[in-house]
């Protein structure tokens, strides 16, 4: 079982009253959780900007964010945030 599979299993095993929110996932230290949050179609502009402000954001998460199908990449703020954070 890979790290990604084990992390996904942990999240799925949690009871409904302890559901993990998208806001919680962008605070994670695990690269696979951050990548999942970045690719989530429910990701808002504010959450995407918070994710991009992280100095420890893995490249995979940035790639997933760029391919996000939820429309967050239509935001000008999100598009220019990586160049501003450098």
Domain region containing 77: 3-85
* The model's pTM: 0.72
pLDDT in tens, 22-80: 999 999 999 999 999 999 999 999 999 999 999 999 999 999 999 998 889 999 999 99
Give 41's contacts (C-beta < 8 A, 6+ positions apart). Answer: 68, 69, 70, 71
Alpha carbon 83 to chain centroid distance? 18
Tokens linked to 10: 């942990």
Its sign, for the CA torsion 7, 5, 30, 82, is negative
Q: How confident is the model at residue 57, as a pLDDT?
A: 94
Q: Is 55 exposed, middle or buried (0-12, 13-18, 19+ CB in 10 A)?
A: exposed
Tokens linked to 1: 């079982």
Number of domains into which the chain is organized: 1
């Amino acid at each position: 079982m890979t790290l990604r599979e084990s992390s996904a299993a942990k999240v799925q095993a949690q009871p409904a009253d302890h559901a993990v929110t998208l806001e919680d996932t962008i605070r994670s230290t695990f690269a696979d959780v951050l990548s999942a949050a970045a690719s989530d179609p429910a990701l808002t502009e504010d959450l995407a900007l918070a994710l991009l402000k992280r100095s420890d954001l893995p490249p995979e998460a940035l790639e997933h964010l760029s391919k996000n199908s939820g429309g967050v990449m239509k935001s000008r703020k999100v598009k220019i945030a990586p160049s501003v954070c450098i």
